[in-house]
């Protein structure tokens, strides 16, 4: 069980039972609490404490492995061992344990080296057909995952996956594993995560200079999206935040919008989000118990260029992007077509051309 969930359980008030626990039960509970506190707080370095509480990658190899196309049976510790050779992702179907490989047309695998010298596993998912909308065809999407998943979890053949997302949005869809996740090298950490998204973003800009980028974050991935977007990098067309939170310590507070940020706080999106110049869409479930809706609304109130948010009635933290609520994808697709900087400029150009045409016709 993740340490963060254990902390919440330990401090959660339970109704008094008719049969009070005995001394041994109390003593065992105290030992568990002390063990958890020692695990989390030792050493008492904020970045290490944050890493222990916030990052919970799946066990390596549980959902996928990397394989050389020339030697599929050869095993690697991480992508660094084969970054100069063509590789593919062998997805482990969680429902039956069978291996599954997406076609090369659907999923292209590549690696990126970050400023912190970590090598990341990255993918580009290609749709069956691209949008006829010029605004959408000029954009690609870069996705930042939640904390308890890796690429294999989002490439499961029996569920809505990244390839499906690419087809729904009708454009190229990029994703990556954070440092220490899946077969990316390095260790998990907030600073590494920010360096990760920057490196992948720069790689897309380098290889696709003709494309603008919409950054999409989910849960802890929203903090990476906000950190990058707050620097307003060249080529950024829009931001989508799904179930975002204001900051790490504010998750334990009843006031997600409290103005003062503690020096020991982490993932401080609340202090960064007002620096984003581009359009931002926030989607949040009203039954989200992990990250309450109030966090998404607190961030929305600080945005410079918000678009109408989507509050998904009945959705919780885990179901909002599962495919159960198709209007989430409809809303994001609408954002790509009509509300990003690229689509807004396209509309302006069409409007100007239409006005010019009407003026010419009237003069004739």
Pairing verdict, β 212-218 and 173-176: unpaired
Q: What is the pLDDT of residue 327?
A: 96
Report the distance separating Cα 118 and Cα 58, nearest Å.
19
Contact of 241 with 214, CB cutoff 8 Å: no
What b/e readout covers 242-274, taking b as 16+ CB neighbours within 10 angstroms? bbbbbbbebbeeeebeeeeeeeebbbbbbebbe
Pairing verdict, β 119-125 and 107-113: antiparallel
From first to last of its 364 residues, the chain has per-residue pLDDT tens of: 454 554 444 344 444 445 555 665 555 555 554 544 444 445 544 545 555 577 989 999 999 999 998 888 888 889 998 877 899 999 999 999 999 999 999 999 999 999 999 999 999 999 999 999 999 999 999 999 999 899 999 999 988 999 999 999 999 999 999 999 999 999 999 999 999 999 999 999 999 999 999 999 999 999 999 999 999 999 999 999 999 999 999 999 899 999 999 999 999 999 999 999 999 999 999 999 999 999 999 999 999 999 999 999 999 999 999 999 999 999 999 999 999 988 776 555 444 544 454 445 555 5
CA quadruple 299, 300, 306, 309: dihedral sign: positive
Q: What SS3 state is found at 120?
A: strand
Tell me the sheet residues that pair with 105.
none
Task: Give the CA distances from residue 296 to residues 174, 255, 309, in Å, rounded to whole numbers and listed in that order.
Answer: 24, 12, 9
Q: What is the pLDDT of residue 8?
A: 46
Is 219 labeled as catalytic in the residue annotation? yes
Catalytic position from the list 111, 219, 247, 343: 219
Is 288 labeled as catalytic in the residue annotation? yes
Q: What is the pLDDT of residue 19?
A: 56
Catalytic position from the list 138, 185, 317, 343: 317
Q: What SS3 state is found at 190?
A: helix
Catalytic position from the list 172, 196, 227, 288: 288
Smallest CA-to-CA distance from 239 within 332, 364, 351 is with: 332
Residue ranges of domains in the chain, CATH in brackets = 103-339 (3.40.50.1820)
């Amino acid at each position: 069980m993740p340490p963060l969930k254990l902390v919440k359980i330990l401090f959660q008030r339970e109704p008094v039972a008719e049969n009070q626990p005995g001394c041994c039960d109390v003593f065992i509970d105290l030992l568990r609490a002390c063990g958890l506190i020692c695990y989390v707080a030792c050493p008492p370095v904020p970045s290490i404490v944050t890493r222990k509480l916030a990052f919970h990658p799946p066990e390596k190899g549980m959902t996928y492995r990397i394989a050389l196309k020339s030697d599929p049976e050869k095993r690697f510790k991480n992508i660094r061992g084969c970054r100069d050779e063509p590789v593919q992702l062998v997805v482990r179907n969680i429902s039956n344990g069978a291996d599954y490989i997406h076609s090369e047309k659907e999923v292209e695998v590549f690696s990126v080296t970050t400023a912190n010298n970590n090598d990341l596993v990255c993918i580009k998912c290609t749709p069956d057909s691209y949008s006829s909308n010029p605004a959408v065809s000029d954009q690609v999407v870069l996705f930042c995952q939640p904390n308890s998943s890796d690429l294999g979890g989002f490439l499961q053949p029996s569920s809505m996956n990244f390839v499906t997302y690419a087809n729904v949005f009708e454009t190229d869809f990029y994703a990556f594993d954070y440092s220490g996740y899946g077969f990316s090298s390095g260790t998990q950490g907030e600073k590494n995560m920010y360096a990760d998204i920057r490196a992948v973003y720069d790689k897309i800009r380098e290889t696709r200079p003709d494309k603008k980028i919409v950054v999409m974050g989910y849960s802890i991935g929203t903090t990476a999206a906000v950190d990058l977007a707050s620097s307003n990098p060249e080529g950024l067309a829009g931001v989508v935040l799904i179930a975002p939170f204001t900051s790490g310590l504010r998750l334990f507070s009843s006031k997600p919008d409290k103005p003062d940020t503690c020096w020991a706080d982490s993932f401080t999106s609340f202090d960064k989000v007002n620096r984003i110049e581009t359009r931002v869409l926030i989607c949040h479930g009203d039954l989200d118990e992990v990250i309450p809706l109030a966090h998404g609304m607190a961030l929305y109130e600080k945005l410079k260029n918000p678009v109408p948010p989507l509050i998904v009635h009945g959705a919780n933290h885990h179901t909002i992007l599962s495919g159960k609520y198709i209007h989430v994808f409809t809303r994001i697709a609408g954002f790509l077509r009509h509300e990003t900087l690229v689509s807004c400029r396209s509309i302006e150009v069409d409007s100007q051309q239409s006005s010019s045409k009407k003026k010419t016709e009237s003069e004739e």
